Amino acid sequence: MVVLHSVLDFIDCNTIVNLSSPSYYYQGYCLQTGELLRLPRTTFIEEIARGLMNYLATDELDASEGKMYGVLLVESPTGEQQVIKAFSGWLNGQSVVEGWVPPIPGREAVALTEAQTLAALDTIKQELITLQQLPERRQYEILSGEFEQQLQVMSDRQRDCRFQRQEKRQLLCQTLTGEVLTLALAQLDEASRRDGIERRQLKRQRDAVLQPLQQLIAAADARIKELKQQRKTLSRQLQAQMHAAYSLMNFFGQSLTLQQLMPDGLPTGTGDCSAPKLLHYAATHHLKPLAMAEFWWGKSSGDKIQGEFYGACAERCQPLMGFLLSGIRPNPPAFPAWEGGVLSPSPRRGVWGEVIIYQDEWLIAVNKPAGLLSVPGRYRDTQDSVVSRLRNLLADGMNLVAVHRLDQETSGILLIARDRNIHRHLSQQFQQRQVHKVYEAILAGAVTKNQGVIELPLWGDPQNRPYQQVNWQRGKPSVTQFQVIAKADEYTRVEFIPLTGRTHQLRVHAAVGLGMVILGDRLYGCCAETSRLHLHARELSFYHPQLGETIHLQTKTPF
């Protein structure tokens, strides 16, 4: 049965994907190490999910059936990115459907019991429908309404008569005395008694008609309660048998039954949701999960709306996430550096210190650490930066102006002018692309092409800053040369030479152009737990306007 699908089965090759940060994480704590494991729902996987929605909209599904569907972007052992899809429960009365991830193993072990139980549950369902649609319920409702209307008419009439008798009593007391008055008042009291008798007779008539119907309805309600309890007991018994038979596998290759994973009790349907199906299938077929999304499709139910994305359900799926995600390496191994044609460990540098790698009376070059802003921001909590620290450190600090910027998460060479004239000259060189820049990065994946040029236009949505996206209509031309330096396990060390200087250019060109995010780049979809963004501005060459010579600066990559 074909289960793995090409990404192009769901999205067009010309689709523009806004590479914003993940909108949700499937997460849980590893049962062995206790560390938090996370799998993102990215904008890319959401676009794939929308492609599945388009398919479901044209497929002949049971219109009354609403359920959760899921898609999982995986990386095969050969490095190819593919998609698997799953549905919760059954689809059109089937648990195994061509092209979809099959149920978690264990169902076949209780197939006969399941069939017998489902038949009994269907019998209960039909009897419940019959009892809930009992004709006497409607009959009682109609007759009860009619009697209430009669009582209301009678009450209105008797109220008017009562007021009239009160007025007449007052008049008689003013005009009559003695036995004549007593006789007249007695006649009015008799009229009141007759009204009471009439009202009681109508109520007795109502009770005589409605009580038999009430008894039938009460008996039906008691039977409904009994049947619901039977249904609940049968469902629990079946679920217990299935949970004892269901066996889930994680990415360590460990298998546990649902009963072992949730010994304190399992809600109905545990193990049949799309997310556990997808992760179990990926683990058993040696597929590396990259991103996952679940959505509701079909008739709305409760708070579930067709076409909306939802996270792991709190009762059935979330308790399984820690086990299911275990074995997905949250951190890469120590990545080797390439020196003299051999692989050797790369020493790590400390955080900010006196890291001025070049200075003269006109300019300063700093090896900026990751995590520090290049220039101070607009707000109080973003004032700490390379420039602000140098301003406090140097006597002429207030004249310092950054010629260019590096992202806060990026480390490497940052050039700072010590006067406005030098700043203007150097800025022109950057604008005219006369400055040679070399970056080094580690990509979270195996790049198949060893070198080349990436040309993808970038556009930043003003409503979604600072995220950049590839946009062929609005984007600005952006060009990057790349060269693979080394490969280790599932990571690739790459050298980037940006020929243009767009915001997040290397990060987006890596994610979209090479199909591999820079390690630690959570903004564009990397879910690995790392201490930093693995991007470093390693080299910088420019013409010194005062010295009249080319200055070449180089630093050692700190990862």
Task: Parse the chain into domains and list their residue ranges.
Answer: 5-105+251-325, 130-238, 337-554
Token digits of residue 13? 């090759």
pLDDT in tens, the chain (559 residues): 678 999 888 987 555 555 556 889 998 887 766 778 889 998 889 999 999 999 998 876 655 678 999 999 998 888 788 999 999 988 887 888 899 999 887 656 666 776 788 889 899 999 999 999 999 999 999 999 999 999 999 999 999 999 999 999 899 898 888 888 999 889 999 999 999 999 999 999 999 999 999 999 999 999 999 999 999 898 878 777 766 677 888 888 888 877 777 665 555 556 678 999 999 999 999 999 999 999 999 888 778 899 999 998 877 788 889 889 988 854 333 333 333 222 222 222 333 334 788 988 899 999 998 888 999 887 766 788 888 888 877 767 778 999 999 999 999 999 999 999 999 999 999 999 999 999 999 999 888 889 999 999 999 877 777 889 999 988 899 999 999 999 887 899 999 999 999 999 999 999 999 999 999 998 888 888 788 999 999 999 999 999 999 999 999 998 8
Instruction: Give the pLDDT confidence score for residue 256 in this predicted structure.
Output: 82
pLDDT of residue 61: 64
Q: Which residues contact 389 (CB under 8 A, 6 or more apart)?
A: 352
Q: Tell the CATH topology of 337-554.
A: Pseudouridine synthase (3.30.2350)
Q: Which residue among the candidates 59, 207, 407, 419 is catalytic per the annotation?
A: 407
pLDDT at 353: 38
Q: Quick one: the chain helix, strand, coil %, rounded to 5?
A: 40, 25, 35
What's the half-sphere exposure (Cβ side, CA atoms, 13 Å) at 441? Answer: 32
Report how far residue 343's alpha carbon sits from residue 341's, in angstroms, rounded to the nearest whole number: 7
Structure tokens at 173: 């007391």
Active site residue 407: yes
Three-state SS at 412: strand
Cis, peptide link before residue 466, omega less than 30° from 0? yes
Q: Which pLDDT score is estimated for 544? A: 95
Residue type, position 352, single letter: W
Q: Tell me the C-alpha distance between 363 and 29, whole Å.
A: 49
Pick the closest to residue 226 from 368, 124, 94 (CA basis): 124
Q: Are 440 and 495 in contact (CB under 8 A)?
A: yes
Residue 556, CB half-sphere, CA atoms under 13 Å: how many? 12
